[in-house]
């Protein structure tokens, strides 16, 4: 179920350092069940596990997400994983409020079963996938990525999912497809802040096709070895670790392939502050604050020092080639 991969010196700890021993052993049990064709039982229990995943404390006994085991190997990291409670109670999810604690307090209203994601536009194989279809599409991996937000704070989170490229290859983009647009749920009945003037709903994000195909871009169904809590983007979200956090759309309902650069939510709201690319770049300041340093959530002591922001959030050796020849101050 787990992999350990190294990304520019930033690698995965052993599973027992991320989760309790009981949960880790539960994952191994699930792998055995899958080998006997019993993975359907794990999917059937999704709704029950989803309810437990909403608690602020790390669940003590939940089965892992269905999936296979990757052969990718790696070493350990010395970088501390953010505490589960911090990662699930300090969030940006404006559909549930603009305060950092609002999503954890309000997102329980979001029903995530049943769920489907429509893939459409410039592809040979358009299709509407159920959540279960998406989960079965490729083996799940656990990857620890840095999350850097434009407000200047960061976390280190073990996400569970697989490379978005696996889905993209399945739907076969046409030669004319240049961009991928991600449309997220906007339901005023279950999302109390949808309809507010802070953004033009639904929340839309986008990537260039080669960015979306990069193996670091993750289609994500879980974190800390469990299903995603609602406030973290359940039941399926994007994680693009070299970009600021708002590029990683939550609760995705549509993926559209297009030949034109998508108009994204924050770019429409304030184009001078939020460019389409939004790569983590310490040399390009937000108009109202510097991006040269960051505050790691959980390191909030009186004498805690801010960290130096890393170019591309520390993934420069993996992704810099995507932007060769581009003016990253102009195309921010």
Which stretches of 185-223 are assigned E, i.e. beta strand?
204-208, 218-223
If we measure between CA atoms, which residue out of 24, 181, 154, 149 comes closest to residue 79? 154
Tens of pLDDT, residues 202-248 = 999 999 999 999 999 999 999 999 999 999 999 999 999 999 999 99
> What's residue 13's pLDDT?
35
Burial state string for 271-288 with b = 16 or more CB within 10 A and e = fewer than 16 = eeebbbbbbbbbebeeee
* CATH architecture for the domain at 86-323: Alpha-Beta Complex (3.90)
Helix (H) or strand (E) holding 84: helix 84-89
Q: Which two tokens stand for residue 238?
A: 């994007």
> What's residue 201's pLDDT?
97
* Count of other CB atoms within 10 angstroms of residue 51: 12
What is the dihedral angle through the alpha carbons of 84, 90, 91, 96, rounded to the nearest 10 degrees? 110
pTM listed for this prediction: 0.81
Measure the CA–CA gap between 148 and 13, rounded to whole angstroms. 20
Measure the CA–CA gap between 11 and 4, rounded to whole angstroms. 7
CB of 270 within 8 A of CB of 55?
no
State how far Cα 243 lies from the chain centre. 11
Measure the CA–CA gap between 288 and 224, rounded to whole angstroms. 33
- Tell me if residue 119 falls in helix, strand or coil: strand
Tens of pLDDT, residues 72-120 = 223 234 689 999 999 999 999 999 999 999 999 999 999 999 999 999 9
Measure the CA–CA gap between 53 and 57, rounded to whole angstroms. 9
> What's residue 16's pLDDT?
33
Residues of the chain with pLDDT under 50: 1-77
If we measure between CA atoms, which residue out of 238, 229, 218 comes closest to residue 110? 229
DSSP string, 240-268: -TTB-GGGS-SSEEEEEEESS----HHHH
CB of 155 within 8 A of CB of 82?
yes
> What's residue 48's pLDDT?
42
Domain locations along the chain: 86-323
Measure the CA–CA gap between 201 and 195, rounded to whole angstroms. 7
> What's residue 151's pLDDT?
95
What is the dihedral angle through the alpha carbons of 267, 320, 141, 138, rounded to the nearest 10 degrees? 80
């Amino acid at each position: 179920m787990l992999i350990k991969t190294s990304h520019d010196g930033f690698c995965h700890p052993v599973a027992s350092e991320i989760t309790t021993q009981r949960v880790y052993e539960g994952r191994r049990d699930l792998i055995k069940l899958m080998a006997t064709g019993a993975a359907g039982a794990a999917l059937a229990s999704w709704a029950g596990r989803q309810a437990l995943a909403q608690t602020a404390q790390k669940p003590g006994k939940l089965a892992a997400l269905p999936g296979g085991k990757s052969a990718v190997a790696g070493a350990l990291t010395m970088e501390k994983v953010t505490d589960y409670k911090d990662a699930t109670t300090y969030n940006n999810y404006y559909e549930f409020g603009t305060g950092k604690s609002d999503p954890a307090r309000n997102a329980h209203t979001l029903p995530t079963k049943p769920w489907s994601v429509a893939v459409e536009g410039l592809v040979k194989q358009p299709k509407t996938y159920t959540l279960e279809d998406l989960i079965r599409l490729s083996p799940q991996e656990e990857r620890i990525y840095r999350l850097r937000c434009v407000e200047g704070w960061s976390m280190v989170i073990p996400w569970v999912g697989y490379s978005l490229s696996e889905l993209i290859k399945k739907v076969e983009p046409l030669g004319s497809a240049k961009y991928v647009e991600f449309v997220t749920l906007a339901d005023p009945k279950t999302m109390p802040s949808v309809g507010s003037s802070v953004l033009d709903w639904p929340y839309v994000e986008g990537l260039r096709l080669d960015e979306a195909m990069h193996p670091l871009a993750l289609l994500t169904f879980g974190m800390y070895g469990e299903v995603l809590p609602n406030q973290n983007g359940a039941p399926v979200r994007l994680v693009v670790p070299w970009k600021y956090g708002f590029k990683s759309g939550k609760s995705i309902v549509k993926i559209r392939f297009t030949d034109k650069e998508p108009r994204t939510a924050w770019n429409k709201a304030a184009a001078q502050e939020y460019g389409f690319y939004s790569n983590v770049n310490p040399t390009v300041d937000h108009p109202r604050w510097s991006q040269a340093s960051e505050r790691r959530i959980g390191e909030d002591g009186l004498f805690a020092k801010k960290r130096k922001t890393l170019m591309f959030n520390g993934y420069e050796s993996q992704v810099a080639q995507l932007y060769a020849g581009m003016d990253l101050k102009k195309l921010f």
